[in-house]
Structure 1
Amino acid sequence: RTMRVPVACLAAWLASAPGAEAASFLVSFPKDVLLPAVAASGVATGERGGLTGRVRLYFTRTNDTAPYESDSDDQSTAQVFGLDAEDWLPGEANGLVIDESVFGYPRPSLEDLEDGVYYVQAELALYDLYTRRDLPEVWLPATCVSSGGLNGEYAKPDGTIFSAVMEVDLRRKGRRAQKFALSLDQVTPKAASPGCAGLGDGVDSDWIKTVRVRSSLLSDWWGRDVTLEACVLLPQGFDEHPDARYPLVVAQGHYSPQFWPGGAFRETDPACDPAVDGYDCVSEQYAYQLYQDWTNTAEDSPFSGARMLVATINHPVPLFDDSYAVNSANLGPYGDAIVTELLPAVEQQYRGLGAGWARGLYGGSTGGWESIGVQVLYPDEFNSAYAACPDPVTFTSYTSINIYDETNAYFYDSPFKRTERPGQRDDYSGLIWPGYGHPYGQTTATVKEMNHRELVLGTKSRSCGQWDIWEAVFGPVCDDGFPCRLYNKMTGEINATVADYWRENFDLKAIMERDWAVLGPKLQGKLHVFVGASDTYYLTNAVMDLEDFLRNTTDPVSDAEVVVGVHQGRGFEHCFRGYELDVDGNVLPNSITRLTYNQAFLPAMAEHFVATAPADADTSSWRY
């Protein structure tokens, strides 16, 4: 709903006003939303019984989409301002004021907004109190997962409180100060998860099963129960071959309540028309194609001789929807918990072989980094990693930044120029999921802009954003209990000490260079990396740096596969996962190949597993 509030008729709140020609917004919440918000989110309250979190105020020029769902790194972004709330009590008397002194994105101040009509909405993103082992107590986001998961009904986490949309007319020149009041009187309810099989939370199908494990390692570290989840696709013939034991392939990536490992799994024909229903129909058709291929018993079917378990895994953390599947100082022993607690539970319950030679990894973007990272950090526990458009695998190219040799993350080093570093470039195709590549590659967001957006959404790495989670995963813990910044979030100045920590612990290329004598024999033939030559987020650069190393390894040679995707002179965009041809020999675009990870990678993994298995290993029971 939209509140139309003519400026002349506004009931002014009576606090002293900013100077003439200024505007300010008072944000408060009524008492009757406090308990529903706490109940939906499960957050702790402060010493006074108030709420802690981040107040955000959004401005848009149109009301087509709710303003609080409209901020982005793109040109269509809303304007947003942010303010921390600590033990915040209900009532207008306790309201927080957002005025021209509060930092915003993309315009830094309210005074930078032109006069005119805006649609304005406020929200409070809730924080919870965390007591981690041997670390200071900290207030972190209650969750970075939307209510019901990615396919949930709501776009915000459970318990988020927000206001109605207010239409305001800023007219400041030569006028008295304008004051507006918004009440956070609505609560995002807790939505039911669709579950792994899409049938409801915990309701499995014949093909897709749910495995949940309370992690002792993580529960002890976080001081609260932590559950890991796997959505497991059983191989064709699982019941008909009771003596078979299967390899396990882990599909890495963002949180998803449903099994969606680079192409969903659908048992019925969607009966839709792409010309009418668009890309959603294409996606559903390929989900049904996976079902048809998966259940095909013909000898020439894609999965003949490659019957495996495929698992997507969910391991969200307070600062992101995903832990990056490794041990980290800020987030705890997620790598060990997944490798020693979750995956063995999957293998025990569904007849997995339970051996490193019979485990593989694949994923794209975040999942791409996880696939390489887990393979490198747990080299004996996995036997293949197929990584598409991975997050930066070396920090000599942390997107467009060399964090070791340069001094500022936002500007190129220069004695006189102040040229901002690019952070995101355009796509030309007009598709939700890009086709081939950029004809122009024009910058649409800079590293500075992307980081300032996160700074507005949440201080101390609490934005639930990409740059913030990288700092939480890769960096040390600072004295206040929050992740140490790699660079000053406002100015971009790089902290060389933190950069050294990143190099020693999470720069995958640097780790392989340093430890190749030990890692080389364990990684030989296991690494497969794909990236578009014009990756949208400049992830190409780090992959090419890694390629330079892998192509020149000796004792042993890496036998790695690195593919930088180009088509008809255009570099593929995010997220290129390798070349694939249609029946007529035409190269398929990203929008299709993102739906066929299983058909592309599992047969090759099966061949590698058999070729490298120990002499006494079972390489036959699952190859029907």
Structure 2
Amino acid sequence: MKNLLILTLFVLATNIMIGQQESVKLAFHISVHKELKASFKSAGRLLIYIAETDKIEPRKSSIYNGNGVVFGTNINNWDKNETKHLNGNQDWTTNANWNFNSVPHGDYYVQLVWSQNGASESKVNSPGNLYSESFKINTKVKQEIRLSLSKIIPERKLITHDLVKLFSFQSDTLSKWWNQPMNIKASVLLPSGYAKNPSKNYPIRYNVAGYGGRYTRVNRLLNNKEFMSWWTSEEAPQIITIFLDGEGPFGDSYQLDSENSGPHGEMLINELIPNIEKQFRAIGSSETRFVDGCSTGGWVSLALQLFYPKTFNGCWSYSADPVSFNKMQLVNLYKDANAFYNNRMYLRPSMRNLNGDPQFSIQEEIYFENVAGVSNTYTTSGGQWSAWNALYSPKGEDDLPMPIFDPINGEIDKQVAEYWKKYDLLLYTKANWTELGPKLNGKIHIWMGDMDNFYLNNAMRDFDSYLKSTTNPKSDAQIDFSPMKEHCEDYSHKYVLGEIEKRMQEIKNK
């Protein structure tokens, strides 16, 4: 859809001659185009992305690609006939070390996003939100720039294919908890022989996405000619794959019960799984049900196997998020005083490359998330730390997740950290091993790169050490560490499906 919204952006530079100052003031006049007035929502968050390159759209800037800065502010009761005048005097949250009253001279690419989805979508770049074309400005030249924000982020769609189906239902469990209708979606990839064998029942695999992954990620496999050539051949295993949706009110739901996001685990186990397996002719037994994923999906698949050991007959967990919070990346949440700085007052990196070169710090990551959050903090950003915090933390007096650390100075809240122990997979496994261990026989398969970009191998090493030390029973978990391998580098849908097929063969041979 085009030309739905026209926002007029005036960038007013100072009249001082070029070269006489090092910065300028910017002011913005923003109006709503008449064609949008029927559908425009009056409350939302305005985000202004400013980048120094146009290699990617500024609105797609993130801490991960190191591109640009962003400013954000909430606007309520915006009259659709009103022109907004915004400048450096407004209450902006930003990750920049400058503001609109003092913009360093240079060439920039500016793009605006009007995030009007509220609680229905946690991400800024989600369907229904509006954005502009990227526009280049030069702050050394007096400019009046008009930006037409005439684009809308389209709805998600599954590629039409005989082997792909949409599963959608309204969850009674989540709807009751949220006191509003909560709809859940998943995509289904059927085995090649499904239509030809209408009376056959199949084993089933639940795939959990990396952070924020949606049910439409099956489209990537459909566009992969090599995978689809294999999947539709006689060589491919006859297994149903369910691609779970990662959306939650504060970011990824992590498919588990949470004081903040609601009973997503209960929904998955008691609603989604029974309904989807009945509709698509799964065998429907715990022996023939499996779970896997990478990154967020690696943590969730392992957590589901641990918390619901009789529901699944095996997990394949790759590059799992921190399985112990005494090594939450490089932070010991139980002992350290600050998440941003170590005890030598060095900024802790959050990401590194293969050679160990830091890419950005936790502080930079949090400051970027603070801008996206409607609370002006990472706790409502829909980003990675927002989702972790929503899952692991208690609810605060403001009905929002209590922050594990201060969004500005990084000081760790020890009371909140104590609450996080409930989701610490290492602590949970240790505390419940006598009862849990026998239920996990043959079910734990873990892969981790020893140069994981997010330092996730540190916590997994502790998990591995504990499982190797177990007795009564002795753990048979398979945990492989690959030297000089990065995050999710060896993850493969084809490999996991092949391993599940082997597991099924073992069951048949019993």
Relative to structure 1, the CA distance from residue 543 to residue 111 in structure 2 (aligned partners, 3 Å threshold; closer, same or farther) is farther
Deviation at 1:58, TM superposition (A): 1.8
Instruction: Return the alpha-carbon distance in structure 1 between the equivalents of residues 456 and 506 of structure 2.
Output: 27
Relative to structure 1, the CA distance from residue 596 to residue 240 in structure 2 (aligned partners, 3 Å threshold; closer, same or farther) is closer
Of 600-609 and 391-400, more deviation after overlay is shown by 600-609
Relative to structure 1, the CA distance from residue 6 to residue 238 in structure 2 (aligned partners, 3 Å threshold; closer, same or farther) is closer
Q: Determine the structure 1 residue equivalent to 2:394.
A: 476
Instruction: Return the alpha-carbon distance in structure 1 between the equivalents of residues 360 and 154 of structure 2.
Output: 33
Is 1:56 the counterpart of 2:47? The answer is yes
**AA in 2 matched with 1:260:** V
SS at 1:211 equivalent: strand
Q: Determine the structure 2 residue equivalent to 1:191.
A: 154
Is 1:423 the counterpart of 2:425? The answer is no
**AA in 2 matched with 1:229:** K
Among 177, 187, 193, the residue aligned to 1:221: 177
Of 485-494 and 520-529, more deviation after overlay is shown by 520-529
Is 1:361 the counterpart of 2:259? The answer is no
Q: Determine the structure 2 residue equivalent to 1:24.
A: 26
C-alpha contact (below 8 Å) 2:215/2:246 kept by paired residues:
no
Instruction: Return the alpha-carbon distance in structure 1 between the equivalents of residues 371 and 114 of structure 2.
Output: 13
Deviation at 1:182, TM superposition (A): 7.3
Deviation at 1:239, TM superposition (A): 4.2
Instruction: Return the alpha-carbon distance in structure 1 between the equivalents of residues 460 and 432 of structure 2.
Output: 19
Among 414, 424, 429, the residue aligned to 1:507: 424
- Segments of 5+ residues of structure 2 without an aligned counterpart are 1-5
Q: Determine the structure 2 residue equivalent to 1:69.
A: 60
Relative to structure 1, the CA distance from residue 471 to residue 223 in structure 2 (aligned partners, 3 Å threshold; closer, same or farther) is same
Q: What is the number of residues matched between the two proteins?
A: 495
Is 1:208 the counterpart of 2:139? The answer is no
Relative to structure 1, the CA distance from residue 375 to residue 409 in structure 2 (aligned partners, 3 Å threshold; closer, same or farther) is same
Is 1:517 the counterpart of 2:434? The answer is yes
C-alpha contact (below 8 Å) 1:29/1:184 kept by paired residues:
no
Among 216, 230, 245, the residue aligned to 1:290: 230
> After the TM superposition, which residues 526-565 of structure 1 pair with which residues of structure 2 at under 5 Å, given as runs?
526-565=443-482
Among 221, 225, 245, the residue aligned to 1:264: 221
Relative to structure 1, the CA distance from residue 113 to residue 94 in structure 2 (aligned partners, 3 Å threshold; closer, same or farther) is closer
Instruction: Return the alpha-carbon distance in structure 2 between the equivalents of residues 60 and 544 of structure 1.
Output: 39
**What RMSD in Å do the two structures reach over aligned CA positions?**
3.1
> After the TM superposition, which residues 97-246 of structure 1 pair with which residues of structure 2 at under 5 Å, given as runs?
97-98=87-88, 102-107=92-97, 109-110=99-100, 113-128=103-118, 140=119, 142-144=120-122, 156-171=125-140, 186-189=149-152, 191-195=154-158, 198-199=159-160, 205-246=161-202
**AA in 2 matched with 1:451:** I
C-alpha contact (below 8 Å) 1:535/1:573 kept by paired residues:
yes
SS at 2:231 equivalent: helix
Deviation at 1:372, TM superposition (A): 0.5
- Segments of 5+ residues of structure 1 without an aligned counterpart are 11-18, 39-44, 129-139, 147-155, 173-177, 200-204, 267-283, 427-437, 578-592, 613-624
Instruction: Return the alpha-carbon distance in structure 2 between the equivalents of residues 350 and 596 of structure 1.
Output: 21
* TM-score after normalising by structure 1: 0.72
C-alpha contact (below 8 Å) 1:54/1:125 kept by paired residues:
yes
SS at 1:87 equivalent: coil
Among 260, 278, 282, the residue aligned to 1:352: 282
**AA in 2 matched with 1:543:** M
Relative to structure 1, the CA distance from residue 206 to residue 227 in structure 2 (aligned partners, 3 Å threshold; closer, same or farther) is same
Relative to structure 1, the CA distance from residue 22 to residue 113 in structure 2 (aligned partners, 3 Å threshold; closer, same or farther) is closer
**AA in 2 matched with 1:560:** A
Is 1:311 the counterpart of 2:301? The answer is no
Aligned-residue sequence identity (percent) comes to 26
Q: Determine the structure 2 residue equivalent to 1:580.
A: none
Instruction: Return the alpha-carbon distance in structure 2 between the equivalents of residues 235 and 69 of structure 1.
Output: 35
Runs (4 or more) in structure 1 with deviation over 6 Å come to: 1-6, 180-184
C-alpha contact (below 8 Å) 1:107/1:113 kept by paired residues:
no
C-alpha contact (below 8 Å) 1:550/1:558 kept by paired residues:
yes
SS at 1:260 equivalent: helix
Deviation at 1:54, TM superposition (A): 2.2
1:68-113 CA-partner distances (Å, limit 9, x unpaired)? 22343333x1122222223333466543334597442243545775
* TM-score after normalising by structure 2: 0.87
Instruction: Return the alpha-carbon distance in structure 2 between the equivalents of residues 336 and 224 of structure 1.
Output: 17
Is 1:596 the counterpart of 2:509? The answer is no
**AA in 2 matched with 1:452:** Y
Deviation at 1:188, TM superposition (A): 4.0
Is 1:82 the counterpart of 2:75? The answer is no
Relative to structure 1, the CA distance from residue 106 to residue 229 in structure 2 (aligned partners, 3 Å threshold; closer, same or farther) is same
C-alpha contact (below 8 Å) 2:109/2:134 kept by paired residues:
yes
Deviation at 1:315, TM superposition (A): 4.9
